[in-house]
Amino acid sequence: MAYPEQDHAPHSFWTRYVWSQDHKVIAVQYTITAIAVGLVALVLSNLMRLQIGFPGRFAFIDANHYYQFVTMHGMIMVIYLLTALFLGGFGNYLIPLMVGARDMVFPFLNMLSYWMYLLAVLVLMGSFFVPGGPTGAGWTLYPPQAILPGTPGSGGGIVLMLVSLAIFIVAATMGGLNYVTTVLQARTRGMTLMRLPLTVWGILVATIMALLAFPALFVSAVMMLFDRLLGTSFFMPAVVSMGQALAYKGGSPILFQHLFWFFGHPEVYIVALPAFGIVSDLISTHARKNIFGYRMMVWAIVIIGVLSFVVWAHHMYVSGMNPWFGFFFATTTLIIAVPTAIKVYNWLLTLWRGDIHLTVPMLFAIGFVSTFVIGGLTGLFLGNVSTDMPLSNTYFVVAHFHMVMGVSPILAIFGGIYHWYPKVTGRLMNDTLGKLHFWVTFVGSYAIYFPMHYLGILGMPRRYYAYDNYAFIPPSAQQLNAFITVAALIVGTFQLVFLYNLARSAFNGLPSGPNPWGSASLEWQTPENPPGHGNWGSALPEVHRWPYDYSVPGTSTDFLPQTSTSPLGCEAKPDRTAP
Amino acid sequence: MALAIALIALVISAVLFHVFSPWWYTPLASNWALIDTTLSITLLITGAVFIAVNIFIAWCIVRFRQRDGHRATVQQDNRKLEHWLIGLTALGIAAMLAPGLFVYADLIHAPPKAAVIEAIGQQWQWRFRLPGPDGQLGSTDVRFISPTNPFGLNPADPRGQDDILINAPEVHLPVNQPVKILLRSQDVLHDFFVQPFRTRMNMVPGMVTSFWLTPTRTGRYEILCAQLCGVGHFNMRGYVVVDDEAAYQVWLDKQRVTLASATVNTRPLAPPISGTSPVNALASQGQSLAQSKGCVACHSPTTAAGVGPGWQGLYGKHERLAGGASALVDDAYLREAITSPNSKRVEGFQPVMPKIELNDQEVNALIAYIKSLSAKPAATTARQ
Amino acid sequence: MNDATTRTDRPDPDAAARLGLWVLLAVITVLFLQFIQAYAVRSGSADWLRLPEPALLRWNTLALLLASVALQSAAMRPHGTIPLWFGGLFGCAFLVGQLLAWQQLRSLGFGVAGNPASSFFYLLTGMHGAHVLGGLLAWGLLMVRVRVRARHGADIAPGARLCARYWHFLLLVWLLLYGVLFLIPPATLQVICGGS
């Protein structure tokens, strides 16, 4: 059957690249927007590092600006870069190609999702230009201070932040409906759930979590907007602020923290699970070996997804909540380490007796494992309620979460981009520049964050504009901070190498051919490369195996694509395969 | 190969860094040695895993890197191995969790004989309240807070009449006596953090939180606010002094006397400005006030701008006001700026200065102090 | 939205739309449960005052019920459009009724700010109203499609079924909110929500 013209098939530049309903174009739009806004957040982080490393040397960074940089850096990186890039970027591009669909099931909604996301970004960026500037309440936006005058941006800044978050959540929900429905409804013939690449599993579970967790953030944002604009007292107790008694009465700041972290903790895994999936596929492909313990990996993803909804209050051990909660949340938090550890073991066992090709994507994947492991391990200090006491709100926390949900997901994103770039453009990214980018980023990240843990153990509190005259902080801590700042500036600057490579390779990269990595999964088996509109030409592919048939004994080829009908293969036994 | 070398180098430098790092906990000053023990156990286990994982990856890269004729050995999974790994992981987790929970059970149960004191947070200063002879703290409420009643004492509560009020950011504790510290805030979240004590808690407006400890070492420790509380967060300084019994009694008696004479506590926290002339005495009183009223959280005694303008060289300067006008900083200007804050705003600063109740004499003292910072050549008073 | 009806290698669009709607309903359910959880926690505080029930709310409930019934009968009768019209009409009546109820409360002195129970009333009914508005939008799109497809004699039942399902859901949410706001005592609610 000939592939018919679709109703949303592109006809002009505008419908092809701007108001496009093609998941691949929307994915690129999401990715470019997220990288652009991430660049802003990167610059902000370097500016705040300048103040910490060389206090007072840069007069334009006053205390107000410093707190605004901290806040905007955090919020942009977590929500507008990581969440958007993993789900909107990778999710959009890979889901239909990996499950064998022509597009998302609701293409119009998909387009709307991107434009809502862009609107959210623009509203957020708008807060830089309102009087008083963006909010400086810290990315957790804790009331009462987020909406009181002692905090920068408590006028327009915080309102725009909350509005932007609400819009983002609507956008994420539109996208999420699509991703879930597409994975569950639009898989091609033979593509059982237990034949999905782990990337799809990671994105699917992360999307379901996002759909269930974001409402909590929406609720807290709307209620805080009411408190700020209409004078309600949902989160606001009676306070005397700057010598003035305000009209608020009886609200609960801790209620906000519960709502925020009911979203906030799953959010960590919303970012981590797609990274787990991507890294699993990269390691398997580039080690020319099936992922070790595939079924265990799937179950680990699902169990982590479920458990992550019952650990949120480990962010609140010292918040003043009912202290009995501490026992429950410390226990659940440490239990979640078990499925997470399984994932790490299985990555290691995939490398073991593999045929490891140290390509650029593989370098980033291994970099991910190393940084994720240290970030996960330091999490055990903070999850265990009594060891959290001296470390909470110190630089130890900063180092921990930057390793586990800053550096490691970003390395997974880089690895993913180097890996799938040939799919998107038909060209390879420059190898030398890629390696340069990897080495500076990987080594630099360790140089930044490893020593930072020790500043935290020393007791340096985070979110401090300056540390003048604190007797218990030795002068050497300032020297270490200067070192960290220099490392951060170098790493920040070298991201330009990546951007240059990304832009230049689109036109000047070496042609990649249809499957440069010899990957078995379905997205590399399209009739055209890059895939055309509708992805699969005249007929949808038929799937006969899992996506990990590498180095199968008895075959002459290095791998068997999912569409291969060869009787050989090492997929899990059918009796264990779920429908 | 380079990656394998890098990972091994990483492990070695991490271990070396750990061994030679001068940055480590401050010496313990409370009874919570078990927190340090739990931390050490956790560090030992996680450190071993960190080293093992990185070395294993490096070994895999060396041993199984791509070479001619080399082919991966396919293995789908290995149930037995995975069960062993899960079991070992669970064991390691239990070894960290169990002591942690035991310590926590102690952390949340203050001994009944613990003395009770109260710490109150406000943007960006500390105050303290000790029970009087009746051994009880009177009730409080935010709605009672006024310039003359900064603690928000309930005037109708007789238990509060004899409370010892310390309107300054320094409190003393007797050594080896368990103490339960009640925490209140009148505006935003704060956190009472003294690193050598290890334990700590947030201060939440609208409720009373608490934690307890037994100080075990005498000395003067810094109190830090460790919960972002606005733009002056980093300068919310306080001190807790752990005294032996005799010194503590002396201090306590002094607080009672101060209370009886019903004057503002102006005991200097920093060495006073030298000299004994009346002008210097006034400036010296101003310096104490600047500390105790929390002015220094925003105004540094140097030229450096903090949340508000720095004070050195301020007097006699022409300030550009928001809106383009300019004003000479003289006595009248400073008086207005102190007594009705935010009526004029200097360009580049936010209108966030609180109104603090001061009598004329105190305002004069502050002005004298600010003046004294401009009278001298810059070099002698600048820090560093 | 998509032309998959013409192609055999596409997933069944109705099945996809049904699943999509179920996922959406799950998300909205979580959203309202979070609001109710917050309500339960907040209702435990000392400054809580019970709200008088505006009499109009019972009539509004009836309007929403009738909208649900009308849309259900439209879904079961593939060619009649009259019940569809009634569905939309009752939906609009519900919204107007809610606005009137707001005014009634306001004239009684229960503004948005002030006691938290009335803040929550405006918040929860407003949120629910926004979702009703969204439902009316979907209903409007369906009516446009009825116009277009009527000429081709196409079946509008799948669309009407989805619309009806959404309205039943809105009715359920409303009954839940009604119960939380006026019927269930706060103490009971706190027990249910494990309040703290």
Provide, rounded to the nearest whole percent, the portion of chain A with pLDDT above 70.
97
Q: Tens of pLDDT along B95-134?
A: 999 999 999 999 999 999 999 999 999 988 899 999 988 8
Are the beta carbons of A250 and C24 separated by less than 8 Å?
Answer: no
Any bridge partners for residue B224, and if so which? B193
| Closest chain C residue to the Cα of A230, Cα to Cα | C113
Indicate if B231 and B129 belong to the same structural domain.
yes
Residue B262 has pLDDT above 70, yes or no: no
Any bridge partners for residue B165, and if so which? B129
| CA-based nearest distance C53→chain A, Å | 20
* Residues ≥6 apart with Cβ < 8 Å to B260: none
Amino acid A4: pLDDT: 41
Mean pLDDT in chain A? 93
Indicate if B122 and B102 belong to the same structural domain.
no
| Residue C151, number of CB atoms within 10 A of its CB | 7
Indicate if B231 and B135 belong to the same structural domain.
yes
The pair phi, psi for residue B261, each rounded to 5°, is -75, -5
Supply A304's token pair: 């982590």
List chain A domain ranges: 21-191, 536-566
Strand B115-122 with B179-185, pairing: parallel
A493 touches C at CB < 8 Å: no
- Judge whether B379 lies within some domain: no
Sheet holding B209-213, edge to edge: B164-166, B125-130, B115-122, B179-185, B209-213
Contacts of A334 in chain B (CB under 8 A): 93, 96-97
Are the beta carbons of A218 and C31 separated by less than 8 Å?
Answer: yes
Indicate if B129 and B252 belong to the same structural domain.
yes
CA gap B94, B101 in Å, rounded: 10
Q: Tens of pLDDT along B190-213?
A: 999 999 999 999 999 999 999 999
Long-range contacts of B256-263 (CB under 8 A, 24+ apart): B256/B164, B259/B164, B259/B165
CB environment B96-122: b (16+ within 10 A), e (fewer): bbebbbebbebbbebeeebebbbbbbb
Indicate if B119 and B256 belong to the same structural domain.
yes
List chain C domain ranges: 15-192
CA gap A85, C49 in Å, rounded: 46
Indicate if B155 and B196 belong to the same structural domain.
yes
Are the beta carbons of C42 and A8 separated by less than 8 Å?
Answer: no
Amino acid A557: pLDDT: 86
In this prediction the pTM is: 0.91
**Across A21-35, A348-362, A401-415, B317-331, least confident range:** B317-331
CA gap A81, A34 in Å, rounded: 5
CA gap A495, A384 in Å, rounded: 35
Are the beta carbons of C16 and A105 separated by less than 8 Å?
Answer: yes
Q: What domain range is B349 assigned to?
A: 281-374
Amino acid A376: pLDDT: 95
Indicate if B250 and B326 belong to the same structural domain.
no
- CATH number for B320: 1.10.760.10
**Across B322-331, B369-378, C121-130, C179-188, least confident range:** B369-378
Of A84-93, A546-555, B277-286, give the range with the top mean pLDDT: A84-93
Q: Tokens 């501490």, residue?
A: A326
Amino acid B38: pLDDT: 94
The SS3 call for residue A511 is strand
CA gap C179, C181 in Å, rounded: 6
Question: A-C interface: how many C-beta pairs under 8 angstroms?
Answer: 120
CB environment B261-283: b (16+ within 10 A), e (fewer): eeebbbeebeeebeeeeeebebb
The pair phi, psi for residue B190, each rounded to 5°, is -130, 180
For residue A435, count CB atoms less than 10 angstroms from its CB and return exposed for 0-12, middle for 13-18, buried for 19 or more: middle
| CA-based nearest distance A52→chain B, Å | 12
Cβ atoms of A103 and A169 closer than 8 Å: no
Amino acid B318: pLDDT: 84
Amino acid C158: pLDDT: 83
**Across B53-67, B77-91, B348-362, least confident range:** B348-362
CA gap C12, A482 in Å, rounded: 60
Provide, rounded to the nearest whole percent, the portion of chain A with pLDDT above 90.
87
Cβ atoms of B11 and B51 closer than 8 Å: yes
Q: Binning pLDDT at 50, 70 and 90, where does residue A1 land? A: very low
The pair phi, psi for residue B76, each rounded to 5°, is -70, -55
Amino acid A444: pLDDT: 97
Residues of C (117-136) whose Cβ lies below 8 Å from A: 119-120, 123, 127
* List of chain C residues with pLDDT < 50: 1-8, 196
Q: Tens of pLDDT along A313-327?
A: 999 999 999 999 999
Indicate if B247 and B155 belong to the same structural domain.
yes
Are the beta carbons of A250 and C45 separated by less than 8 Å?
Answer: yes
| Residue A504, number of CB atoms within 10 A of its CB | 14
Q: Tens of pLDDT along A120-135?
A: 999 999 999 999 899 9
Mean pLDDT confidence for A280-289:
96
Q: Tens of pLDDT along A462-480?
A: 999 999 889 999 999 999 9
Amino acid B336: pLDDT: 86
Q: Binning pLDDT at 50, 70 and 90, where does residue B263 land? A: very low
A451 touches B at CB < 8 Å: yes
User: What count of Cα atoms within 13 Å lies in the side-chain half-sphere of residue B118?
Assistant: 26
Supply C147's token pair: 């116009």
Amino acid A455: pLDDT: 96
Indicate if B60 and B180 belong to the same structural domain.
no
Amino acid A412: pLDDT: 97
Residue A375 has pLDDT above 60, yes or no: yes
Contacts of A262 in chain C (CB under 8 A): 34
Are the beta carbons of C15 and A8 separated by less than 8 Å?
Answer: no
Any bridge partners for residue A245, and if so which? A240
Residues of A (123-182) whose Cβ lies below 8 Å from C: 173, 176-178, 180-181
CA gap A416, A423 in Å, rounded: 11
Mean pLDDT in chain B? 86
Q: Binning pLDDT at 50, 70 and 90, where does residue A9 land? A: low
Mean pLDDT confidence for A187-204:
95
Nearest to C1 among A106, A181, A322 (CB): A106
CA gap C67, C41 in Å, rounded: 33
- Where does A287-394 have alpha helices with state H? 294-307, 325-335, 337-351, 360-383, 385-391
Q: Tokens 């370097």, residue?
A: A46
CA gap A576, C144 in Å, rounded: 49
- Judge whether B48 lies within some domain: yes
Indicate if B97 and B133 belong to the same structural domain.
no
Residue A258 has pLDDT above 90, yes or no: yes
* DSSP H or E stretch at residue B128: strand B125-130
| CA-based nearest distance C31→chain A, Å | 5
ipTM score of complex: 0.93
Eight-class DSSP state of A77? I
Sheet holding B219-225, edge to edge: B170-174, B238-243, B219-225, B190-193, B200-203
Indicate if B171 and B132 belong to the same structural domain.
yes
Nearest to A211 among C13, C27, C45 (CB): C27
* DSSP H or E stretch at residue B364: helix B360-375
CATH number of C15-192: 1.20.120.80
User: Which is more confidently placed, B178 or B294?
Assistant: B178
CA gap A354, A360 in Å, rounded: 17
Provide, rounded to the nearest whole percent, the portion of chain B with pLDDT above 90.
55
- Judge whether B235 lies within some domain: yes
Contacts of A432 in chain B (CB under 8 A): none
Amino acid B292: pLDDT: 66
Indicate if B103 and B130 belong to the same structural domain.
no
